[in-house]
């Protein structure tokens, strides 16, 4: 019976179409906004002011709890980094147990507990949750702030800051924040090694005692838990938490710049520019402009369907992606568009950003495009309601931002009213091409020319402090590519020592996004090479060149090679490539001097017999090859690969790199060699 019923339902549209003439020259008119019931969590408030929300969901026997401190932003001044260090320290021990014991308890219960400067959250199976919640409350109410753990956290933070100095995106974030909000605004502070070193345990304790108060806190339960169970747990753990007065500072509101200008951070080692175009805007959470503003931004730059993406990536191929975002905030919001583009396309890319900004302001968007965007947003909103956590988030937002209780209930209705006139009005109000901070992190020598047509060009350091125009380093006219190659050969050990090396086997690790893989590379000179990246004994990537025979595989699948790829593999067989390049007739041209990690290096542009172009960088002081930059084609477009040699060691009289970083533009692979063996008598047949 059920099968027959389904067949009837499926066949009905076909029968109706046969009887009804449909006008396909016009898109159907949108129907009324669907009515979606947004669930409301159960709520209660303790006498100390702690507000609690409970979203019960019994589909799975698990529960999560999140305690959020809803404090205002604070200025950390000469101790910028205080709150991030404090957040890490909360999880490092309580007055009842040290970190090791706490970790052991959490692991035993199969739970997860995280802490930050504004929150503590816990997650576990239902049966273990009461004990887990007790541990979470212990962290929130009785942190011990151990001094030795603060020093461990500080060391990690300093290491991260050192890496950020060489990370173009991290540099861009610092400079954007400093210029857009100002150094005295909480959003404009830049964390440095000096500010982190000033933070003490007493500073962390003072922060905690000042801001961790129940009367500005929210506790959310989600999962297989009843209101009564949640209330009992909360009262037992948090009823004794004392409320108090919390500072509520007021900050000057950053204004857009009077005129658009260009802020360049010179990073000579960059082969692509990180571009951010930013304007601060007055847009509070829940403001009437937020929904139509979101429609406008979705059309402009929210994902692969946005105009920016279609222009800069699909039309011109400047980048992997270009996006924009209109953000609301209690203090100050912003409009920001961003992308990473090849150095030589920086000028053109900025021009196309501004073309799209002006187009969405001057041309009315079609009703069809607006309708499609609203449909996508409606679908996304509806799908979000499938998660119980969404209901909790909505309730928290209503409480924190004093929104109307039916704000989310009316979201689709309000979204449906947005038309093309509203989209243009939002673009006129929030997309201000004449009043923008355009911040670019890249090689100033290669990108600066022509940018002055967009506004005054200024230069800044990695912390957002204005500085003088970088002077171009002069190179002695007598310096030639052959001379640089000759010095490199001598630095590597000299031709006699190089010729004495017959085979090399190196093993170590390759760290990719926190995951350690096994790395091995073997050379059987002059024309044997095998590189293998494995995990748990399984090969993830393998490259083999053996006397004119080539094999490349990814996760066991063989890859077909083009002639230029075979040429590049032949280059890899040369453990010391300088003699190889000279012997094979590569064209070499010295392009200038550039700074790499504070040291000057010669930049040599190489052109292979098959026409491939890449760049090699040689440290002027040591003569060693410290960096390679190559461009490879992929289905997604051109990929810029940067291989940096950061440490060398001497074996049998020759210097070999033992620490390398491969930057793919999207992630980095840090390679560290732990074992090196030379002249073991290996043969080509040993490469398998």
Dihedral pair phi/psi, residue 670, rounded to 5°: -100, 115
Question: What is the location of CATH 3.30.830.10 in the chain?
Answer: 42-238, 261-467
Distance between CA atoms of residues 148 and 572, nearest Å: 46
Name the superfamily (CATH) of residues 261-467.
Metalloenzyme, LuxS/M16 peptidase-like (3.30.830.10)
- Position with higher pLDDT, 475 vs 182: 182
Q: What is the pLDDT of the chain when averaged over all its residues?
A: 91
Q: Which pLDDT value is given to residue 68?
A: 97
Q: What is the pLDDT of residues 645-654, one digit of tens each?
A: 999 999 999 9
* pLDDT, tens digit (0-9, with 9 covering 90-100), for 15-29: 333 344 545 555 555
Nearest to 524 by CA among 566, 586, 572, 492: 572
Q: Is residue 57 exposed (0-12), middle (13-18) or buried (19+ Cβ within 10 Å)?
A: middle
Q: With cut-offs at 50, 70 and 90, classify the pLDDT of residue 596.
A: confident
Q: What is the DSSP letter of 260?
A: -
Cβ count near 432 (within 10 Å): 19
CA angle 77, 81, 87 (to 5 degrees): 130
Q: How far apart are the first and last CA of the chain?
A: 62
Residue 8 above 80 pLDDT?
no
Report pLDDT digits (tens) over 382-425. Answer: 999 888 889 999 999 999 999 999 999 999 999 999 999 999 99
Helix (H, G, I), strand (E, B) or coil at 662: strand
Mean pLDDT value of segment 266-276:
89
* Fold designation for 42-238: Cytochrome Bc1 Complex; Chain A, domain 1 (3.30.830)
Q: What pLDDT sits at residue 632?
A: 79
Please provide the DSSP assignment of 517-555 as one string. EEEEEEEETTTEEEEEEEETTEEEEEEEEETTEEEEEET
Residue 317 has pLDDT above 50, yes or no: yes
pLDDT band at 362 (very low <50, low <70, confident <90, very high): very high
Beta bridge partners of 336: 278, 325
Residue 42 sits at φ, ψ, to 5 deg, of -75, 145
pLDDT at 7: 29
Residue 30 in this model has a pLDDT that exceeds 60:
no
- What pLDDT is attached to residue 164? 86
Tell me how far CA of residue 129 lies from CA of 214, 388, 614, in angstroms: 22, 18, 57
pLDDT of residue 148: 96
**Residue 53: is its pLDDT beyond 60?**
yes
Query: Which band of pLDDT confidence, cut at 50, 70 and 90, is reported for residue 40?
Result: confident
DSSP 8-class letter at 453:
G
**pLDDT at residue 11 is higher than 80:** no
Nearest-angstrom CA–CA distance, 339 and 355: 15
Q: Are 199 and 158 in contact (CB under 8 A)?
A: no
Which 3 state secondary structure label does DSSP give 25? coil
Residues across the chain: 688
CA-based max dimension of the chain: 92
For the residues 575-586, what does the mean pLDDT come to?
94
Q: What is the pLDDT of residues 187-214, one digit of tens each?
A: 999 999 999 999 999 999 999 999 999 9
What backbone torsions phi and psi does residue 32 show, to the nearest 5 degrees?
A: -65, 155
Q: How many other CB atoms sit within 10 Å of the CB of residue 288?
A: 9
Query: What's the pLDDT tens digit per position in 69-96?
Result: 999 999 999 999 999 999 999 999 999 9
- Sorting pLDDT into bands at 50, 70 and 90, what band is 166? confident
pLDDT digits (tens, 9 = 90+) for 665-678: 778 899 999 999 99
| Residues 628, 633: Cα–Cα separation, whole Å | 17
Q: What is the DSSP string of 290-357?
A: HHHHHHHHHHHHSSTTSHHHIIIIIIT--EEEEEEEEE--SS-EEEEEEEEEEGGGHHHHHHHHHHHH
For position 631, what pLDDT does the model report?
82
CB 113 within 8 A of CB 51: no
Q: Are strands 261-266 and 437-442 parallel, antiparallel or unpaired?
A: parallel
Domain limits, CATH 2.50.20.10, in the chain = 481-686
Backbone angles phi, psi at 158, to 5 degrees: -65, -35
Q: Give the model confidence (pLDDT) of 462-508 as tens digits.
A: 999 999 987 777 888 889 999 999 999 999 999 999 999 999 999 99
b/e per residue, 105-133, with b = 16+ CB within 10 A? bbeebebebebbbbbbbbbbbeeebbebb
Per-residue pLDDT tens over the stretch 608-628: 999 999 999 999 999 999 999
Residues 455, 259: Cα–Cα separation, whole Å:
7
Q: Which of 309, 632, 612, 605 is nearest to 484 (CA)?
A: 605
Residue 428 has pLDDT above 50, yes or no: yes
Select 481-686's CATH number: 2.50.20.10, 3.90.228.20, 3.40.718.10, 1.10.357.140: 2.50.20.10
* Cβ-based burial of 583 (10 A; exposed 0-12, middle 13-18, buried ≥19): exposed
466 - beta bridge partners? Answer: 460
Model pLDDT, residue 14? 34
Q: Is 403 exposed, middle or buried (0-12, 13-18, 19+ CB in 10 A)?
A: middle
User: What pLDDT score was predicted for residue 415?
Assistant: 96
When pLDDT is cut at 50, 70 and 90, the band that residue 664 belongs to is confident
The SS3 assignment for 590 reads strand
Angle at 167 between CA 166 and CA 172, to 5 degrees: 115
Question: Structure pTM?
Answer: 0.78
- Residue 455 zone, left/alpha/beta (φ > 0; ψ -120 to 50; rest): left
């Amino acid at each position: 019976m059920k099968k027959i019923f389904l067949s009837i339902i499926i066949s009905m549209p076909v029968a109706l179409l046969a009887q009804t003439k449909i006008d396909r020259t016009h898109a159907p008119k949108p129907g009324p906004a669907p009515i979606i019931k947004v669930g409301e969590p159960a709520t209660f408030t303790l006498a100390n002011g702690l507000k609690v929300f409970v979203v019960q969901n019994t589909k799975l026997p698990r529960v999560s709890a999140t305690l959020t401190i809803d404090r205002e932003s604070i200025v950390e001044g000469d101790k910028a980094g205080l709150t991030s260090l404090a957040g890490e320290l909360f999880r490092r021990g309580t007055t009842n147990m040290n970190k090791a014991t706490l970790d052991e308890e959490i692991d035993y219960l199969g739970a997860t507990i995280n802490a930050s400067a504004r929150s503590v959250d816990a997650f576990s199976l239902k049966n273990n949750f009461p004990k887990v919640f007790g541990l979470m409350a212990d962290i929130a109410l009785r942190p011990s702030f151990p001094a030795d753990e603060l020093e461990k956290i500080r060391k990690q933070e300093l290491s991260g800051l050192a890496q950020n100095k060489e990370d173009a995106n991290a540099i861009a974030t610092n400079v954007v924040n400093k210029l857009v909000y100002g150094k005295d605004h909480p959003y404009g502070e830049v964390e440095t090694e000096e500010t982190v070193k000033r933070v003490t345990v007493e500073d962390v304790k003072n922060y905690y005692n000042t801001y961790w108060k129940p009367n500005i806190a929210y506790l959310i339960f989600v999962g297989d838990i009843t209101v009564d169970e949640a209330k009992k747990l909360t009262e037992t753990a948090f009823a004794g938490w004392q409320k108090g007065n919390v500072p509520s500072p007021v900050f000057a509101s950053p204004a857009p710049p009077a005129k658009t200008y260009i802020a360049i951070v010179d990073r000579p080692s960059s082969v692509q520019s990180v571009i951010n175009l930013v304007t601060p805007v007055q847009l509070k959470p829940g403001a009437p402009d937020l929904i139509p503003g979101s429609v406008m931004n979705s059309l402009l730059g929210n994902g692969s369907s946005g105009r920016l993406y279609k222009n800069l990536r699909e039309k011109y191929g400047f980048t992997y992606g270009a996006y924009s975002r209109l953000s609301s905030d209690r203090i100050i919001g912003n409009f920001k568009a961003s992308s990473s583009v090849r150095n030589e396309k920086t000028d053109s890319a900025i021009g196309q950003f501004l073309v799209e900004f002006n187009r969405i302001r001057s041309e009315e968007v079609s009703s069809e495009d607006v309708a499609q965007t609203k449909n996508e947003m409606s679908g996304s909103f509806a799908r979000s309601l499938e998660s119980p956590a969404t209901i909790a988030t909505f309730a928290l937002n209503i409480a924190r931002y004093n929104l109307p209780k039916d704000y989310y209930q009316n979201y689709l209705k309000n979204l449906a009213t947005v038309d093309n006139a509203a989209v243009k009005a939002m673009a006129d109000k929030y997309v201000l091409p004449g009043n923008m901070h355009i911040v670019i992190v890249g090689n100033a020598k290669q990108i600066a020319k022509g940018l002055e047509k967009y506004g005054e060009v200024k230069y800044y350091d990695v912390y957002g402090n204005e500085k003088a125009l970088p002077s171009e380093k002069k190179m002695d006219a007598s310096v030639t590519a052959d001379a640089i190659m000759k010095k490199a050969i001598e630095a590597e050990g000299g031709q006699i020592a190089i010729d004495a090396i017959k085979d090399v086997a190196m093993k170590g690790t390759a760290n990719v996004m926190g995951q350690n893989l096994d790395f091995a590379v073997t050379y059987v000179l002059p024309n044997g090479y095998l590189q293998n990246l494995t995990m748990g004994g399984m090969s993830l990537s393998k490259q083999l060149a053996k006397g004119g025979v080539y094999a490349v595989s990814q996760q066991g699948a063989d890859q077909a090679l083009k002639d230029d790829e075979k040429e590049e593999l032949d280059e890899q067989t040369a453990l010391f490539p300088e003699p190889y390049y000279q012997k094979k007739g590569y064209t070499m041209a010295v392009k200038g001097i550039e700074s790499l990690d504070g040291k000057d290096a010669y930049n040599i542009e190489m052109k292979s017999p098959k026409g491939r172009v890449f760049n090699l960088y040689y440290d002027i002081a040591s003569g060693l090859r410290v960096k390679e930059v190559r461009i490879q084609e992929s289905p997604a477009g051109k990929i810029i690969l940067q291989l940096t040699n950061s440490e060398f060691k001497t074996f049998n009289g020759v210097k070999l790199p033992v620490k390398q970083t491969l930057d793919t533009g999207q992630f980095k692979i840090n390679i560290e060699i732990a074992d090196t063996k030379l002249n073991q008598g290996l043969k080509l047949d040993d490469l398998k």
